Amino acid sequence: MMRRDRILLAVTLTAVFSADLYFILLPKMRSKGLTSGHSCSCGPNKLTLPPSQGGLATPQLSNWTSAPLLDGTTSEPAYGGSKLVRLFSHPLYNIQTPALGPEERLLQVEQLIDYYRRKVSHWERHMKLYSLAAALANITVTNHEVTYDPDTSWLKFHLGINRYALYSRDDPTVLQLIKDMQSMTVISAGEGQMGFGASMVKPSGHHLKLALKMRNLAKAMFKPMRQQRDEETPEDVFYFVDLQRHNAEIAAFHLDRILDFRRVPPVVGRLVNITSEVLKVTQNEDLRAVFFTSPANNTCFFAKCLYVCKTEYAACGSPDLLEGSLSAYLPGLSIAPRISIPSPWIRSYTFTGREEWEVNPFYCDTIKQQYPYNSGNRLLNIIDMSIFDFLIGNMDRHHYEIFTKFGDEGFLLHLDNARGFGKHAKDEMSILSPLSQCCMIKQSTLLRLQLLAQSEFRLSDVMRESLQEDSLRPILTEPHLLALDRRLHKVLRVVHQCVRRLGKDEVITEDFFKSTVTPEAATDGTMQR
Amino acid sequence: MMRRDRILLAVTLTAVFSADLYFILLPKMRSKGLTSGHSCSCGPNKLTLPPSQGGLATPQLSNWTSAPLLDGTTSEPAYGGSKLVRLFSHPLYNIQTPALGPEERLLQVEQLIDYYRRKVSHWERHMKLYSLAAALANITVTNHEVTYDPDTSWLKFHLGINRYALYSRDDPTVLQLIKDMQSMTVISAGEGQMGFGASMVKPSGHHLKLALKMRNLAKAMFKPMRQQRDEETPEDVFYFVDLQRHNAEIAAFHLDRILDFRRVPPVVGRLVNITSEVLKVTQNEDLRAVFFTSPANNTCFFAKCLYVCKTEYAACGSPDLLEGSLSAYLPGLSIAPRISIPSPWIRSYTFTGREEWEVNPFYCDTIKQQYPYNSGNRLLNIIDMSIFDFLIGNMDRHHYEIFTKFGDEGFLLHLDNARGFGKHAKDEMSILSPLSQCCMIKQSTLLRLQLLAQSEFRLSDVMRESLQEDSLRPILTEPHLLALDRRLHKVLRVVHQCVRRLGKDEVITEDFFKSTVTPEAATDGTMQR
């Protein structure tokens, strides 16, 4: 027994030392190496710069175009400046995607322009008829003109979707789309044939969502504020009945961009006038019927009643203004079909049931042998998603969606993130099960997580800075921001445990685009120290 | 114009002076008069003393029995002592009810004893069969023995109900009943044939109530805590979807007793173990099915599902203990039928609808001519109830109940008060419409309200003291207690406006029991100064 204890002690000490070496000493050495410009062998000719319009929420980027960072000076500890700018200027965030062939783009220009033209003329015909009908029924509907504009932001956003991500980092379109969603005239509410499934006003009280259509025919899903920023999900509430939080939807978009996934459609906060921008423009009788005036004389609407109308499910303006998130719609399913697949790590959605992954520690071995997880990147993509969900605290990822066109190699869409950020003090480790059970992670993901764990780029700092650009700021409370750092370290710890158990080669999968950065180069620079 | 203005000024000054005289100078003079023992001409021989067991929540009363207050010394400003004891010792609270004939009691002893005996043997037979069935179905049910006890408190409470009130002030039974409800073993949950209507587990999420049966076959309605003491009803919530508050139910009982109405059945707070005292003793399959364990490992139950089960409607223990109110059941409808009558001042219970009383200032003139409000005390009882509801802030009094036996002269039961105490800062004047539109009030009610407006008996102070006796103290937050004083003054102001408009004789109706206190005597002492 005594000898066993001594061995245990020795093993523990070795583990502590290894952890120290791996997470503290090596990163410091790496950071020194980076600043002296030696370690990044991917080379200047393989990096692209952000364009003058910059990334989202980083207008300062334009100042950086004339001061190229090709020699790696981005990592210089210029602590006074913007950490977000520094992050997005880092070589890891400037790896060029290969030139896109038609098969690698979701949509073709002609196809989408044609679709858009038909939408505009349909709208015009429809409004003529509807105005007549409304006049007869004595309903006042504000009739907004629709303009056809081939340069419109949503069109460009849809055209930019490719096999690698929803948008490119250097695409100014997303910034414009966000501006448009934030300020453009709403011409109709409640109709939603495009994207996010097919339903109109989501009938569950917890999914009080509206589809808003803008003057340029852009569509966005509006999720109204249901909870104050500092309210936390009560501990007795199950994940599947938790409220949806508009600020979580906004924050998830920013986090996804900061992780460089770009799998969340653009989201922005907006103060919506639910009288003039919803009630007065909707042509939906059912939606009009759920509006009422509260005892405090505020305009409110509640979820479409299936059984009984409960006004406690209502969202109310003050007296008409209601804040909420607006998520850009993806291209309609008719032109860009998607498939929705249950997550292998789906939860039971019952009070007592447990799924196999919750009880079987070797669950991943089974999954790894099953199509489509037995080849390609699908399982690694699931693991990326689990890391994203763990960071935001989202337990509700029952399905994921992919664009049919890109087949099994397509990236996973991270839609519907409003159940994140419910409990800042809780780190729900079970969300990380795909990572902890499969012990696999993309090298690109790991490198970015390690970067964000460093004080020069600290995740909470870049998130705070990024969210500051939203008009509904503050989007997250400080405890929720700081929780991101704590959770990030927990993700890295899980990876570290896997590496110790199985070795680096088993755990870390090289995934850099062959045509631009050789896996060896990237690995040399960052992983093999 | 100038002369008109001068007249207006003179009228205003006169009004201000009159108000001052009526509400400040006269009460002071009266209070002086009372302490010198001259004004209470109802005389010592017409008063009874509280018995040694005292009123509820006033154990100190026993010390007072040997120091009779017959000479009016109760009103001496002994500010250090108990205001509640002083209140209940005041002559106004010691008016003897006439001796009760059989027709003036709700139930006869033999009838109730017989009913109780049958209940006990039914329970014993039923438990034998049920235990067998449960064993076969593999359900563990705790089987408690039931004891027949002719001295049991609920039996005495039921026997004490008479044409004047639910209980007598000097009845020690109520104190015992409260103790029993607070601590007695629960032998069954969820079954409710007696009292409060006939339903079992109330199916609406907002009415998460359980019927609990005690070892002595006493029954009580359990309303679990749904809201923290300092949480307020959001201003956009309609009265008819407001949560029910267990503390409001408790506080309403204490207030009713302090107003000397005694029209609310006894209510007490209790920490219930929902596992051992509900789940393990229920024989109701439906109730067992709504129990679950929350993510935080607490035992919870939710409302019986009509359409979809929403766990956000659940009440959860910590991990099993859940506080709630227990309201004593009234005698079963089979032996003491009651009738439920819509209040003439019922609200529309829709988002936009308005009832006639809300728009017609002469509504009461119509009501006064209609049966049963055209004679007797019914309208005055409605006005008492509106004062009670205004004080607690309850807008949800759509119906009232009376015992059929006492006919149109029966008192109104003030059941279901859990929607009171929702907004401490709001005084909903519309609740007082019966008083303000009819301009009538019972003399006995007015005298007590005036007493409670004085600093020696201040309503908030006696309520605070009374509620302090409940084991779930504090029952009300300070702002809610102080709101009682503010609202009381508003009630008195409405009465004063009526008196100024119509004269005292029109407004104040003498209602003292002829056999003990002559109206003149009571009036002389308090109203004719």
Give the tens place of pLDDT for each residue, A358-384.
Answer: 999 999 999 999 999 998 899 999 999
**Distance separating alpha carbons of residues B193 and B215, to the nearest angstrom:** 17
Residue B110 near chain A (CB below 8 Å): no
3-state secondary structure B380-403: HHHHHHHHHHHHHCCCCCCEEEEE
Q: Residue A212: pLDDT band by 50, 70, 90 thresholds?
A: very high
A22 has pLDDT over 50: no
**CA–CA dist A87, A452 (Å, integer):** 8
Per-residue confidence band for B447, with pLDDT thresholds at 50, 70 and 90: very high
B396 is catalytic: yes
Q: Is A327 annotated as a binding residue?
A: yes
Count of A–B CB contacts within 8 Å? Answer: 64
The two tokens of residue A82 are 């913007």
Average pLDDT, chain B: 81
**Per-residue pLDDT tens over the stretch B289-313:** 888 999 999 999 886 544 444 444 6
Q: Do A352 and B292 touch (CB under 8 A)?
A: yes
Distance from CA of A229 to the nearest CA of B (A): 16
Question: CA B33 → CA A90, B18, B76, B82, B83, distances in Å?
Answer: 89, 20, 11, 22, 19
A444 backbone φψ class: left, alpha, beta (φ>0; ψ -120 to 50): alpha
Structure tokens given for B1: 């114009």
CB contacts, 8 Å: B294 with chain A: 235-238
Residue B360 predicted with pLDDT over 80 = yes
Range ranked top by mean pLDDT from A502-511, B39-48, B188-197, B232-241: A502-511
H or E element, residue A363: helix A363-368
The DSSP secondary-structure symbol of A297 reads S
CB contact under 8 Å between B351 and A311, yes or no, is yes
Ramachandran angles phi, psi of B228, nearest 5°: -70, 155
| Nearest chain B CA: its distance from A119 CA (Å) | 37
**pLDDT digits 0-9 by tens, A327-363:** 999 999 999 999 999 999 999 888 888 999 999 999 9
Split at pLDDT 50, 70, 90, the class of B7 is: low
Helix (H) or strand (E) holding B11: helix B2-20
- Residue B97 in this model has a pLDDT that exceeds 60: yes
Query: Could you tell me which residue, B506 or B17, shows the higher pLDDT?
Result: B506
Q: Give the C-alpha separation, A381 to A377, whole Å.
A: 6
Tokens of residue A373, six digits: 């997880």
| Per-residue confidence (pLDDT) for residue B363, from 0 to 100 | 97
Q: Which has more pLDDT, A348 or B63?
A: A348
Q: Report how far residue A362's alpha carbon sits from residue A509's, in angstroms, rounded to the nearest whole number.
A: 20
Which of the pair, A40 or B365, is modelled with greater confidence?
B365
Q: Which one of A206, A298, A352 has the shortest CB-CB distance to B236?
A: A298
For an interface test with B, the pick among A235, A307, A351 (most B C-beta atoms closer than 10 Å) comes out as A351
Q: Is A400 annotated as a binding residue?
A: no
| Cβ-contact B163, B410 below 8 angstroms | yes
Token pair recorded at residue B161: 């109900």
Give the confidence band of B24 by pLDDT, cuts at 50, 70, 90.
Answer: very low
Interhelix angle B459-467/B443-453, rounded to 10 degrees, is: 90
The first and second tokens of residue A15, run together, are 């583990």
Question: Greater confidence, B195 or A188?
Answer: A188
A416 is in an annotated binding site: yes
Average pLDDT over residues B117-123: 92
Contacts of A241 in chain B (CB under 8 A): 310-312
Residue B213 assigned to a binding site = no
Task: For residues B260 and B279, give the distance between their C-alpha atoms in angstroms, rounded to a whole number.
Answer: 38
A-facing residues of B in 188-217 (CB < 8 A) are: 205
> Residue range B48-60: average pLDDT?
33
Contact A152, A218 (CB under 8 A): yes
Asked if residue A165 belongs to a known ligand binding site, the reply is: no
Residue A420: its pLDDT value, please? 97
Q: How far apart are the first and last CA of chain A?
A: 38
pLDDT above 60 for A61: no
As a whole number, mean pLDDT of residues B129-158 equals: 88
Element at A19 (helix H, strand E): helix A2-20
Tens-place pLDDT, residues A446-457: 999 999 999 999
Compute the nearest-CA separation of B487 from chain A (Å): 20
What pLDDT does residue A80 have? 63
Contact call for A237 and B295, based on CB within 8 A: yes
Q: Name the least confident of A241-255, B179-193, B215-229.
A: B179-193
Q: Which residue from B511, B506, B523, B364 is spatially nearest to B435, judged by alpha carbons?
A: B364
Going by pLDDT thresholds of 50, 70 and 90, the confidence category of residue B99 is confident
Percent of chain B with pLDDT over 90: 60
Residues of A in contact with B208 (CB under 8 A): none
Least confident residue range of B135-149, B194-208, B473-487: B194-208
pLDDT confidence of residue B63: 29
Q: Which of residues 274-333 of A touch B (CB under 8 A)?
A: 292-296, 298, 300, 306-308, 310-312, 314, 316
Per-residue pLDDT of B327-340, as tens digits, reads 999 999 999 999 99
d(CA B104, CA B161): 9
Render pLDDT for A215-257 as a digit per residue (tens, 0 to 9). 999 999 999 998 999 999 999 888 887 888 999 999 999 999 9
Is A362 in the B-facing interface, judged by CB distances under 8 Å? no
DSSP 8-state class, residue A47: B
Antiparallel, parallel or unpaired: β A210-214 and A267-273 = unpaired
Residue B57 pLDDT grade (very low, low, confident, very high; cuts 50, 70, 90): very low
* pLDDT at residue B47, rounded to an integer: 31
Please check whether residue B167 is in contact with residue B176, taking contact to mean a CB–CB distance below 8 angstroms: no
Q: Which of A204-213, B206-215, B337-346 has the lowest mean pLDDT?
A: A204-213
Confidence class of residue B182 from pLDDT cuts 50, 70 and 90? very high
The greatest distance separating any two alpha carbons of chain A, rounded to the nearest whole angstrom, comes to 93
- Identify the pLDDT of residue A285: 85
Please check the confidence at residue A509 and state whether its pLDDT lies above 90: yes
Q: Decide if A376 contacts A408 (C-beta within 8 A).
A: yes
Q: What percent of chain B has pLDDT over 70?
A: 76
Residue-level pLDDT at B419: 94
More confident residue, B367 or A170: B367
A350 touches chain B (CB under 8 A): no
Query: How far apart, in whole angstroms, are the C-alpha atoms of residue A495 and residue A417?
Result: 24
Residue B521, pLDDT > 70, answer no
| Torsions phi, psi for A302 (to 5 deg) | -125, 170
A1 vs B477, more confident: B477
Using pLDDT thresholds of 50, 70 and 90, give the confidence band for residue A258.
very high
pLDDT of residue B161: 97
- Beta carbons within 10 angstroms of residue A509's beta carbon: 18
Reported as a pLDDT band with limits 50, 70 and 90, residue B346 is very high
Window B:72-91, CB contacts with A under 8 Å: none
The vertex-B469 CA angle with B466 and B472, nearest 5°, equals: 115
Q: In whole angstroms, give the CA distance from residue A325 to residue A415.
A: 13
Residue B44: CB partners within 8 Å, gap ≥ 6? B70, B71
**Helices A153-160 + A109-136 axis angle, to 10:** 140
Of the residues A227, A236, A349, the best mutation for testing chain B's interface (the one with the most B CB atoms within 10 Å of its CB) is: A236
Q: Which residue of B has its CA nearest to A315?
A: B236
Query: How far does the CA of residue B359 sit from the closest CA of chain A (Å)?
Result: 17
| Local confidence band at A475 (pLDDT 50, 70, 90 cut-offs) | very high
Q: Which two tokens stand for residue B508?
A: 């104040």
Residues from chain B contacting residue A228 (CB–CB below 8 Å): none
The C-alpha atoms of residue B49 and residue B284 are separated, in whole angstroms, by 46
Name the residue with higher pLDDT: B20 or A415: A415
The percentage of chain A sitting over the pLDDT mark of 70, rounded to a whole number, equals 76
Sign of the Cα pseudo-torsion (B290, B295, B297, B298, in order): negative
Q: What is the pTM of this model?
A: 0.77
CB contact under 8 A, A235 and B314: no
Contact A222, A470 (CB under 8 A): no
Distance from CA of B191 to the nearest CA of A (A): 25
ipTM of the complex: 0.72
Q: Where are the beta strands (DSSP E) in B80-194?
A: 186-189
Neighbouring-strand partners of residue B402:
B339
In this prediction, residue A3 carries a pLDDT of 52
A351 and chain B in contact, CB less than 8 A: yes
Residue B238 near chain A (CB below 8 Å): yes
**Can you tell me the distance from the alpha carbon of A516 to that of B1, in angstroms, rounded to the nearest whole number?**
93
Distance from CA of B323 to the nearest CA of A (A): 16
pLDDT in tens, A82-133: 999 999 999 999 888 788 899 999 999 999 999 999 999 999 998 888 888 8
Q: Are A200 and A192 in contact (CB under 8 A)?
A: yes
In tens, the pLDDT along A140-182 reads 878 888 888 889 999 999 999 999 999 998 889 999 999 999 9
**Alpha helices (H) in A83-160, listed in sequence order:** 83-89, 109-136, 153-160
Ligand-binding annotation for B211, yes or no, is no
